[in-house]
Copies of this chain bind each other. A is one copy, B any other.
Amino acid sequence: MARKADRDQIRKQNRSIILQTLRRKGPMARIDLGHITKLSPATVTAITSDLLDHGLIEGIESDEPKAPQARGRPRSLLRLNPDAACVVSIRISVNTIDLSLTNFAGETFFSKRVPFESAHADAANFPSTLVGAVRRFLNEAGASADKVQEIGVAAQGVVETDAGLVVWSPAFAGRKIPIVGPLEEAFHADCLISNDTNMITEALHWSDPERYSGTFAVVMLDYGVGMGLYLDGRLFAGANGTAAEFGHANHIPGGALCRCGKRGCLEAYLSDYALVRAASRLPETTDPTDIKAGVASLTRLIDRAAANDADALQAFHDAGHVLGYGLARIVALIDPKTIVLTGAAMRAFAFMEEAMRQGLEEALVADLRENFTIDVLPWNEDYIRRGLVAQAMSRMDRNFTGDDIEPRVSLPGAAAEGVGA
C-alpha cells in the first residue's frame, strides 16, 4: 500500500494536471477533463470539488447552443477563477525592468517597463529600487499584494539561483545583487530568479514538449550572449546555479576584450558591442564600455549588412565563424539533440550562417556533426516572459492550496492575452 507521503504526492500531481489543462484548453466539462487528462471520473470529481471549495475554479454555464437532440440542464463547464491568485514576472536587463502581471487563468493583463540606472545600481540600492517598482506596479494594476503567490525573475548575466542573487551582470554596476530575499520579504510570495535564457528554454519546452525535451541547448544572441541547457529532461542549473555561461566560455586565449574584464570570451565576439566594435574596425582591445551599443545599434548594423555594407557583412561573417566554434564545443561536451538559436541578432542569421557552418566543420570531428539539428527561432522577447509565467504557474499549481483565499475582488481584465498564445 502506498504511504501517505506518496498519496499526497500523487494527489498534488493530479491537481496540477487539472489546473494546467484548464489553463491550456480553457473552460470545459468534467467529462472532457477526464478524457484529456486520462484521470478517472472519481478522481476528477474529487479534485474539482476540492478546487471549487477553495475558490480556485468556478462553474459556469456553457453558452454553446445545445445540440438539437440534447435535453435537460444546460451543460456546466469548469473554469479557473482568474482572480484566485496572480503571478508577477520581472525581467531585468540593462537600464530596464519589465514587469507583468498574470492572473490564475494564465492571462497576462498588465505590463509595464520601468527604467533604472544600471550604471549606479548595486547591492545596496537595487533591492529597494526593485521592491518600490513592484509596489507601484501593483498599485497601478489595481492588484492587491496579497494575491501575489509567485514572483519569477529573469536577469541577464551570471545568476546564482540557489542564493537568489545576480552575481554579475551588465545590468548592474555592482556585483552580488540580492533579488529573491528582498522580494520575498516585501511581498510574502515565493520568488525564484533564473538566467533569462533559461526562461526561453522553459518556454520552448512548455509550448512544444514534443520537439523540445530530452537534451537540447538554447543560445540567445542579443545585447549579450545567453544560453539555456535542458539536459535529460530537466532545466540544468549546475551545482551553484551558474551553469550555461556560454558567453563567458573562452574562445581564444588572450583574444578580444570582454565586458567581464577577461579576454577572448565568446561574448567579446558575438554580442552587440562586439559586433559594433568589429564593424567599426576598432581594435579588439577597445573597452566595451566605450562602445555605444545595445539593441538599437545592433538593429542599425543589421540594416547596414542588408544594404550590403562591407564592414557590417564582415562583422557578421566573423561572428558566425566564432559561433560555429562555440557551438562545436557545446556539441562535443553536451551532445544536444537540438540547438536553438534566437535573440535579436538572429535577424542577421543569413549573414552568419555560412561561416557558422564552416566553423562547426573546422572545429568538430565529422562523426559528432551528424547527430544534432540547429533550429533558428525568430526572435520574440515574449519568450522570456512566457517561460517565467510557465515556471511560476507550475510552482503555484504545486504549492497554492487556496486555503487562505479571500472573497473575490475585482481585477482589471482588459486586453487579456493567453500565456500559451
Contact = CB atoms under 8 A, between A and B. Distances in A.
B250 A365 contact: no
B6 A368 contact: no
A250 B328 contact: yes
Given A1-B2, A328-B250, A334 B238 contact: yes
B232 A215 contact: no
A253 interface: yes
A334 B333 contact: yes
Interface residues of A, number: 58
A157 to B, nearest CB: 10
A2 B6 CA distance: 9
B238 A335 contact: yes
Interface string A321-346: 00001001110111111000000000
Interface in A314-370: 325, 328-330, 332-337, 359, 362-365, 367-368
Contacts of A2: 1-2, 6
Contacts of A168: 365, 367
B246 A332 contact: yes
A258 to B, nearest CB: 8
Contacts of A240: 335, 337, 371
Interface in A359-416: 359, 362-365, 367-368, 371-372
A239 B372 contact: yes
A368 B247 CA distance: 13
Contacts of A243: 215, 333-335
Given A176-B367, A215-B238, A253-B363, 10 more contacts: A158-B365, A158-B368, A237-B335, A239-B336, A242-B368, A242-B371, A248-B365, A252-B252, A254-B362, A329-B333
Interface of A: 1-2, 6, 158, 167-168, 175-176, 214-216, 227, 229, 231-232, 234, 236-246, 248-250, 252-254, 260-265, 325, 328-330, 332-337, 359, 362-365, 367-368, 371-372
